[in-house]
């Protein structure tokens, strides 16, 4: 099911983001990674139109749309790569 996220779900979205970021950007320093993670938590997620994909009440992916026209991020947990959102 796809639905709008709740602010209480930000920790789960950060888990998904972090798993994807570590795979996609292994060359980034830990300091830079932590800086972006904080920005995701404090700036991007709260100020974007964020939708989650969940199955059996477990969020396995999400999409962020910023300013109603820019896709910031679309992530799906690697274990669920055969799913389509």
Residue 85's pLDDT is what? 45
Residue range 34-49, pLDDT digits in tens:
999 999 899 888 888 8
CA distance 20 to 7: 20
Domain positions in the chain: 2-80
Please tell me the pTM assigned to this model.
0.80
Measured CA distances, 57 to 3, 36, 61, 68, 73 (Å): 11, 27, 12, 27, 21
**pLDDT for the residue 21:** 87
Q: Does domain 2-80 have CATH number 1.20.120.1730?
A: no
């Amino acid at each position: 099911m796809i639905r709008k996220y709740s602010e209480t779900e930000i920790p789960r979205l950060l888990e998904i983001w972090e798993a994807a970021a570590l795979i996609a950007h292994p060359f980034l320093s830990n300091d830079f990674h932590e800086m972006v993670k904080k920005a995701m938590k404090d700036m991007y997620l709260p100020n974007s139109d964020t939708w989650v994909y969940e199955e059996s009440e477990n969020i396995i992916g999400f999409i962020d749309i910023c300013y109603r026209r820019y896709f910031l991020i679309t992530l799906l947990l690697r274990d669920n790569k055969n799913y389509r959102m």
